[in-house]
Amino acid sequence: MRLSSLVAVLLPPAWARAYPTDSSSDGALQAFPDINYGAPIIGGGEQITDPAELEILHARHADVLRRLKAGEGYSLENTTLFDSPGLDKRVPILGMAGVTILGAIPGLSTAMQRLYGFLLGDPLGPWASKNNCRVEFHTKGGGNEETSVLGRNNNPRQEFLNNTGWNNPTSTGPPILFFRTDSIVIYRQEYELVLNTWPLANADAIEESEGDSISSEGAGGNRWGGSCGVLCIDQVVTDIERPEDWTERPRPKGKILIAGDSISHGMQDDWTWRYRLDRWLQSNYFKYEFVGPWVGTYGIPDIEAAQPRAPLFPEETPPSTFRRGDYAFTGDDIPFIDSGHGAFWGRQAKESVREVYHWIRTYEADYLLVLLGFNDLGWFVSGPEGLIMDMGTLVKNAREANPKINILVGNVVHRTHINGRDDLPVKTDRYNQILREHLPTWFDWNSPIRYVDVAGLYNCHPNSCPDGYDGLHPNAFGEWAIAKAFADVLQHDFHFHGEPLNIPSRVDTRPVSAPLGVKIVPRPEGLLTTWDTVKNARGYEIRTRLEGAQEWWSSGEVYPKTTASFNTWVLNGQTWEVQVRTKGDNDDRSEWSLSRTATVAALTAPPPANIIVNPEGGDGVVVTWDSVTGYDVDRYSIYLWDRDTEGSWTGVYPCRGTRWSIGGLVPGHRYSVWVATHATIPHGTLSNVPEAPGGLPGTGRDVYIGGGRPPQPSSFTSESIDATTIRLNWNHAGGISGYAIYSRNIHDGQGLKLDGTTTDASYLLGIQFPGIWNFEYCVAAFNGNLESTRVCTIPAVCCGHSKRDLVTGNVTVPAGFVDTAHVTAQMQHAVLGQVHDMYMKLSAGLGTMMGNFSTLGVPPPY
């Protein structure tokens, strides 16, 4: 009788160790690296359908047959090894099939004893017992093909029904199916059987045909097929009588290094996906150790991190404010608390390329799990093509450190949409596609590598991010999802067998409460606000306003994420009000704290006078100002904000001297400019060393990049609203950053004075006593401090008055009237509050990057 018509290739998870890159390769015959095995599982396996994997496996399959036919294996068919009476019924099977073991396998004798022990067992064979795992194939009339992978007691693991039948088993080769399981590999093609174990000495299970009952209905019958018994892992361990020299197969073990960024590092009171993976490994009794240069999470910095400091030059190094953070769990009995890792906030693949070699050598890592790349794409460090080159170099360096390193490379997850960064999801998708397609080319016989589709499981996208707490970083659900992505690949491809990692339906929460102990006190740098730490805080938000004001001047996150915040953009004698609240996951916020007030008594220097801003070249700007005297000035800082890029952030640049310029800006965009003075004080309030905090910045004129001196406004008219209110109108011109409005009383001999500026093509002036016909009004277009010639008018007498009338007394203000000059002053004040919020983020998050920072529409580094 022929053997089963089913071709079932049961692939061990470490298959990447053994397939050749071409048919001439004999790497699999020369060396069999140790394979670690996991805890028992119950079930068959998963059919492999990925085209990229199938292409490699079919090549390997063909190579196995070539080796068999070329005599490059150990043939066991019809030899005296099968003289045992207990094998009588098996001899036809083995003899006709041709059982061949590929390669010079150490411990061959012991391995064969184990194989014979299995075959000498139950007379019915493993293929008949429901206590075994099985693969079954049937076809009816040459079609309606059915393939099932069964666990014990017929528990289905996977089933496939299609209509691609095998028409004639007597003349046509059977289908070839590949399954990923914890069994040895069986190839069955044209009724030849090849047994390949890599190595057999540690074989997990044995798979055989149903034998002489396979074709009971004949090749011409209505239904025919076959089944293959697949011995479950735990049966191999417990049901086979092992020789005295047999050693219990080890579970997966080794040292695991995770290289990542903030997504893997986690923050104070997180569990982290590293911990979720640790719990899964522990539950399956694997022997391993997490290693790397860092421990814990990213902690809440000490309040010293809030010390106001000057922006840094590229050659300067900021003081370290990093503090090791705790996990959500506690207890000295959990070794994971002190385990190592190679993940840090803001980390880039480009940085880790240089470090991974030393980490692997130092910590003797056996497994490298990589989850990097978001910061490279998000911070314009690299595009998709540059990132894939860096990742390839990282893999190369890892293998130089340990030629047998096992590598799992995760793709880049998405985040919610950021204004001005429509390119980010496109770049992320492009990189993930390139990584998936390119990673097989990094194949190495001794160093298996796998693609991990983290983004496929991590539920975070431009429109929503249920798995993140801030649109990117993982909450508890996200931690489970990332851990599962890596656990699934470890289980399927690296022999980490056992119970799968499942994402729970309910996860740990992080409730937050309002801060207590809020205090605000005057200090030489400005006003210092402090409060008590809140458990589970993702950060804090603070808002400030002048006492008695209705609107909050500044309201935003506290940076750095500590329990203190300085406001240095204040004037002596002002009294400010402050409130603080706690941030939780996503939009979760506590109530605002009670208000606290304090009066400013600062020693900071005033802003410089005579700030002149002009365009320079086609993409630059030059700023000059007068020196500030009477203070120990260390440097000045220039704030540059792209007003035409949605979501852009303020760039902050240091300068010594009174002239500063920059290029590489966006032509055609309007930029706002401020300059602040940084004077040295003997002791910082929080650092207790000399510091140079900056005071309230002075405002320069907006500048239109790439433009020159603008033309005079055209079609200038005036509209009398009443005797003391006038609206000026003109046609808007291109290539300008604003308009300057001047006025003078024509009777007092004074010159024109700047009344205000606007970017609109109209301007409203009110309370013009003793009547608008007593004033001259002029408008000039400007680009920085380059002004056009002015266009002027003296309004006609209106509203029943004569030219010599002087309007006095109370004048009714029209309903809805808003004085443009007053609005302009308020707007500048409010805009400065926005800039202050951005500056606080930058000063905390960028460190040495601040000196080279340009306006990016992205949040602080991850």
Domains of the chain, first to last: 7-239 (no CATH), 254-301+320-493 (3.40.50.1110), 519-599 (2.60.40.10), 612-706+826-852 (2.60.40.10), 714-817 (2.60.40.10)
Q: Which two tokens stand for residue 95?
A: 């003899």
pLDDT over 90 percentage in the chain: 52
Contacts of 854 (CB under 8 A, 6+ apart): 651, 664, 665
CA distance 862 to 846: 11
Strands 698-699 and 703-704: unpaired
Give the DSSP H or E segment for 287.
Answer: strand 287-291
The whole-number pLDDT of residue 37 equals: 25
The whole-number pLDDT of residue 15 equals: 28
Angstrom distances, CA of residue 559 to CA of 496, 700, 739: 42, 26, 36
pLDDT reading at 624 higher than 50? yes
Task: Residue 246: count other Cβ atoms within 10 Å of its Cβ.
Answer: 16
Q: Which two tokens stand for residue 835?
A: 């800039």
The whole-number pLDDT of residue 251 equals: 55
CA distance 713 to 781: 6
Higher pLDDT, 287 or 812: 287
- Average per-residue pLDDT for the chain: 75
CA diameter of the chain: 134
pLDDT reading at 72 higher than 80? no
**Contact predicate 665/615, CB 8 Å:** no
The whole-number pLDDT of residue 405 equals: 96
CA distance 94 to 77: 6
Q: pLDDT tens for residues 418-469?
A: 888 899 999 999 999 999 999 988 988 889 999 999 999 999 999 999 999 9
**Contact predicate 648/641, CB 8 Å:** yes
Q: pLDDT tens for residues 380-397?
A: 999 999 999 999 999 999
The whole-number pLDDT of residue 398 equals: 98
CA distance 30 to 26: 7
Nearest to 215 by CA among 399, 35, 3: 3
Q: What is the pTM of this model?
A: 0.64
Q: Which residue has the tokens 């190579």?
A: 63
**Contact predicate 502/477, CB 8 Å:** no
pLDDT reading at 128 higher than 90? no
The whole-number pLDDT of residue 47 equals: 62
Torsion angle, CA of 194/198/204/209, rounded to 10 degrees? 0
pLDDT reading at 803 higher than 50? yes
Using alpha carbons only, give the angle 769, 773, 778 rounded to the nearest 5 degrees.
95
Residue 295 exposed, middle or buried by CB count within 10 Å (0-12, 13-18, 19+): middle
pLDDT reading at 673 higher than 60? yes
Cα of first residue to Cα of last residue in the chain, in angstroms, is: 65
pLDDT over 70 percentage in the chain: 65
Q: pLDDT tens for residues 688-705?
A: 999 999 999 999 999 999
Q: pLDDT tens for residues 343-376?
A: 999 999 999 998 999 999 999 999 999 999 999 9
Q: pLDDT tens for residues 826-853?
A: 445 556 666 666 555 554 443 322 223 2
pLDDT band at 336 (very low <50, low <70, confident <90, very high): confident
The whole-number pLDDT of residue 826 equals: 47
Using alpha carbons only, give the angle 229, 231, 237 rounded to the nearest 5 degrees.
165
Higher pLDDT, 801 or 184: 801
CA distance 756 to 765: 10
Residue type at 195 in one-letter notation: L
Region 325-340: mean pLDDT is 78
Using alpha carbons only, give the angle 143, 147, 153 rounded to the nearest 5 degrees.
140
Residue type at 742 in one-letter notation: Y
CA distance 232 to 126: 10
